[in-house]
């Protein structure tokens, strides 16, 4: 996976990236459950990302390895879907996952004392992000749809006392798949609250909603708790645990991310 990222760009042309913050992150995601189907599915997903940030602009490229054990009717980030030709047994599939390109912009707005009480802090932020899914996952192995998807989202965050409240709302426009015939475009939303516990530790609570990507499965609703640790000025670790609130969700999920700031 490391060879897929243009990390050497910084060494080849330092002037190009001068003043740009860079971060490399390796994640591990595991989830299991029915996802709205009779047979259980287990997903193991290892994304590797390279992120850039300068001013309010940010960009990221992600590649991944993926393993799915189940009947072949569950996709990462989509949930339950219907194959044009149904699988007749539980199998294990592994290989390269889909790749992701993201571009975003965030603007911070100051709050005058006379407009809002000090409870809301001195500023809040508004942002927008566009994501392009590149179909590098194998359709034959039931690891992806084989089509490009484009997602748009709006983001906002503000302070509430010593807490940070954040929210996201967006829409995914999905390409038609010849294998997963019922794939459809849908919206998603997220709201959460985070609090810095110490100078190097934070924790929070997140609620996720994803409208179904298939007319034969229900919406995904999950609640998550997470914690983050600043291990050193360059290294950080994030851990997140989720529980599904609907039958179409994963019963439980765990996500770990180790990040290094260049």
Determine the pLDDT at residue 83.
Answer: 54
Per-residue pLDDT, 140: 83
Domain architecture of the chain: domains with CATH: 2-261 (2.40.160.40)
* pLDDT of amino acid 257: 97
Low-confidence ranges of the chain (pLDDT < 70): 1-17, 78-90, 113-120
pLDDT of residue 38: 78
pLDDT of residue 46: 95
DSSP string, the chain: -GGGS-TTHHHH-GGGGTT-EEEEEEEEEEEEE-TTSSS-EEEEEEEEEEEEEETTEEEEEEEEEEEEEESS-EETTTEE---SS---S-EEEEEE--EEEEEEEEEEEE--TTTS-GGG-SEEEEEEEEEEEE--S-TTTTS--SS-EEEEEEEEEEEETTEEEEEEEEEEEEPP-SSSTTB--EEEEEEEEEEEEETTEEEEEEEEEE--SBTTS--EEEEEEEEEEE-SSSEEEEEEEEEESSTTS-SEEEEEEEEEE-
């Amino acid at each position: 996976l490391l060879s897929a990222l243009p990390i050497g760009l910084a060494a080849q042309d330092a002037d190009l990236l001068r003043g740009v913050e860079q971060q490399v992150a390796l994640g591990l995601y595991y989830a299991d459950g029915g996802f709205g189907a009779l047979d259980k599915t287990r997903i193991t997903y290892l994304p590797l990302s390279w992120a850039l940030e300068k001013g309010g602009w940010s960009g990221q490229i992600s590649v991944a390895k993926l393993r799915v054990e189940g009947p072949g009717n569950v996709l990462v980030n989509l949930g339950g879907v219907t194959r044009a030709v149904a699988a007749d047994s539980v199998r294990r599939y592994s290989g390269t996952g889909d790749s992701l390109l993201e571009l975003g912009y965030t603007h911070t707005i100051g709050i005058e004392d006379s407009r809002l009480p000090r409870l809301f802090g001195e500023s809040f932020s508004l942002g927008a992000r566009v994501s392009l899914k590149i179909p590098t996952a194998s359709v034959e192995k039931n690891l992806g749809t084989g089509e490009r998807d484009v997602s748009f989202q709006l983001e906002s965050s503000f302070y509430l006392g010593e807490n940070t409240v954040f929210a996201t709302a967006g829409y995914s426009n999905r390409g038609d798949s010849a294998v997963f015939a019922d794939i459809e475009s849908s919206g998603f939303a997220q709201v959460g609250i985070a609090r810095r516990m110490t100078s190097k530790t934070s924790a929070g609570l997140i609620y996720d909603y994803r409208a179904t990507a298939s007319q034969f499965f229900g919406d995904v609703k999950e609640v998550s708790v997470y914690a983050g640790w600043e291990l050193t000025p360059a290294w950080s670790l994030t851990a997140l645990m989720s529980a599904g609130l609907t039958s179409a969700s994963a019963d439980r999920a765990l996500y770990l991310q180790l990040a290094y700031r260049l």
